[in-house]
Structure 1
Amino acid sequence: MTRIGYHASHEQFDPRTMRDLAVRAEAAGFAGVKCSDHLQPWSTRQGQSGHAWVWLGAAMGATTVPFGSISAPGYRYHPAVMAQAVATLGQMFPGRFWLALGTGEALNEWVTGLPWPDKPERNARLRECFDVMHALLRGETVTHRGRITVIEARLWSLPDTPPPLFGAAATPETARLLGGWAEGLLTLGGDPDKVAKVIAAFREGGGEGKPVHIQHTISWAETQDQAMANALDQWAPVAIGGEINWDIRRPTDFDLLGQFVGPDQIGRSVRVSADPGLHRADLQALAGLGVDTIFLHNVGLNQEAFIDMAARELLG
């Protein structure tokens, strides 16, 4: 049975508020929590970006459900350091943590001064980071010289079972590349036909039988007008599409692009509706793809009302 989880958006809420929302989400019946990992928000209107790894320890300590996150190793985080964080959470909270590895966005990664390469190069760097982290989480001593460098690294505090390392993909092409080595897939929701193609590519590439998680982005409010206003206020810059999201470096630049996203465009990345029945039908369609967990991200700031609605209408 597909589980419904809650997405914690660090870009939109301060860490203390987000911890409390995670606690509320569990109490409402959400079966897991997934969080983002940003150094900067997508928009100055969002206005937050707490440290995901610090937050994860606090939030998991206040709850009992599984947690996951998505991070980009090899730029802001050295893969050995990220592996140590994964191992620590896995040891403290056995069986409750998973991590999706992605190729990242310049918005978060360029601050270290490393060159920001094209997607094929980022894919190759991601694979090296995965191999290093996978080995470290199994107690190996790792030396690796390539796109990243690791010299005689070893993790000393290990969980009994290594947390799974998923791969993150938004397109069939990337999903197919991940299938042979990632231990699961994290992809975006939306149109079930498009999502199905991404999942099929992952399975064709070697991911058959591996778990699949979806992050499904919606904007719900008590009225349709408010749902649309929330989506445009908080998520218009992210809806611009294409390769732009991965290459722009400043929240203010995303805000400039967001001016060109209106009601006719926002639906490309956000399901905007005040009707819980429509959201329930979307969840059923995505669940029909055979996925393990769908993490709901309501982009509005009305999180308490959304969690309460979900408890009544979506989680039963």
Structure 2
Amino acid sequence: MAQWGYTMMTEQAGPRQLVEDVVRAEQAGFDFSVSSDHYFPWLDAQGHSPYAWSVLGAAAHATSRIPLMTFVTCPTFRYHPAVVAQKAATLHLLSGGRFRLGLGAGENLNEHVVGAGWPPVDVRHEMLQEAVDIIRALLRGGYVNHRGPHFDVESAKLWDVPDEPPPIGIAASGPRSCELAGRLGDLLVATEPEAGLVRDFERHGGAGKPRVGQLPVSYDPDRDTAIARAHEQFRWFGGGWKVNSELPGPASFAAATAYVRPEDVAESVPCGDDVDEFTARLRPFAEAGFTEIALVQIGGDQQRPFLDWAEKTLLPALREL
């Protein structure tokens, strides 16, 4: 049976609200939670982007049961992998072992801010692999020295290390990243309900490991309102990773999606309050072999109505999938 998660979408709410919302998600019965980790929102209409790791630390203190996870952190540009390892170890300790570290090759949208340029995808995958090796070495304890093609680590040591390191998830969208995820990761992270991603992941060492998917939804008693909100804030979602990872800022995402219509968004994002529509859109993830699916309720001011509805109506229906 699939598990169902709640997304702290840092691009559409401020830090205090994000923590309050995940507390309510825990109360509503969600099985796990994830958090985005951005420097920019995709579109100006979303309006936020607080520091995800501070939010996660506060969430770890404010909750008691629900697992936490980055979905996902790029450990290669804004953050050096040695710093990511320290953050992950600390959060795992704060949460009492409830944290999982989701990693990915990143998006230009967030990583350009440090002025390091944006290399082609094959180089970004090389950097991700090297970063994962460094993070795992530090989480094992002891001093780490590393001289690599992309990173140097000089006599680094984590002084607060959990007995068991947090599991590491790797984001994948194609054969190369699935190979990395299967070989390097403890779980797969993806946003497309494609059985081929799961098969590639399993073929490269991921057999038996969790597979975590994610889908945006737009709950509202009025379907037209839900569609309008999804179009305003999430029309970028259909661009796909190959496009989205290259765009440098919200203005670029706005230009790239200028001709996306509300009805186009409604074809991929369940909108309204029809439980059958929501379950029909989420079912492909379960059928593709994903063991966990996180929901993103679109609209920062719509989290509480969604969570109330999810507790009473949506989650019981999803348990039947």
2:24 paired residue number = 24
Quote how far apart the aligned CAs of 1:298 are.
Answer: 1.6
Q: Counterparts of 1:182 and 1:140 in 2: how far apart (Å)?
A: 22
Partner of 2:123: 121
Whole-angstrom CA distance in 1 between matches of 2:313 and 2:227: 20
Residues 139-165 of structure 1: CA deviation (Å, up to 9, x unaligned): 142212221111111111001110011
> Alpha-carbon deviation of 1:284?
4.0
Distance 2:261 2:202 in 1: 35
Q: What is residue 234 of structure 1 aligned with on the other side?
A: 233
1:158 aligns with 2:161: yes
- Give the deviation of 1:32 after TM superposition: 1.4
Q: Which residue of 2 aligns with 1:2?
A: 2
TM-score of the two chains, using structure 2 as the length reference: 0.92
Give the TM-score of the pair, scaled to structure 1: 0.93
Q: State the shift of 1:275 in Å.
A: 1.2
Determine if contact 1:101/1:165 at 8 Å carries over to the other structure. yes
Distance 1:250 1:232 in 2: 18
- In the other structure, the counterpart of 1:250 is 249
The aligned length equals 312
Q: Which residue of 2 aligns with 1:286?
A: 285
SS at match of 2:155: strand
Aligned to 1:217: 216
Q: Give the drift of 1:276.
A: 1.5
Give the corresponding residue for 1:93: 95
- Identical aligned residues as a percent: 39
Could you tell me how far apart the structure 1 residues matched to 2:6 and 2:241 are?
26
- Note closer, same or farther for the CA distance 1:290–1:256 as it changes in structure 2 (3 Å cut): closer
Runs of at least 5 residues in structure 1 that lack an aligned partner in the other structure: none
User: Superposed, which structure 2 residues align to 1:296-315 within 5 Å?
Assistant: 296-301=295-300, 302-315=302-315
Aligned equivalents of 2:280 and 2:313: distance in 1? 11
Question: How far apart in 1 are the matches of 2:177 and 2:169?
Answer: 13
| Structure 2 CA distance for partners of 1:100 and 1:209, relative to 1, 3 Å | same
Residue 188 of structure 1 aligns to which amino acid in structure 2?
A: T
Match in the other structure for 2:319: none
Partners of 2:49 and 2:25 in 1: CA distance: 20
CA–CA distance in 1 between the matches of 2:241 and 2:168?
26
Tell me if the contact between 1:43 and 1:251 (Cα under 8 Å) persists in the aligned partners.
yes
Residues 221 and 272 of structure 2 are in contact (CA less than 8 Å); yes or no, is this contact kept in structure 1? no
Contact 2:270 2:277 in 1 (8 A): no
CA separation in 2, counterparts of 1:45 and 1:201?
36
Change (3 A) 1:268 1:125: farther
Which runs of no fewer than 5 residues in structure 2 stay unpaired? 317-321
2:146 is aligned with 1:144? yes
Alignment RMSD: 1.7
- Give the C-alpha shift of residue 200 in structure 1: 1.1
Cα pair distance change 1:4/1:242, threshold 3 Å: closer
**Displacement, 1:264?**
4.3
Provide, for residues 171-215 of structure 1, a one-character-per-residue CA deviation record: whole Å limited to 9, x for no partner. 3442133211111111114xx4xx211111111122111111111
How far off is 1:307 after superposition?
1.0
CA–CA separation in structure 2 for the residues paired with 1:313 and 1:52: 29
Does 2:85 correspond to 1:83?
yes
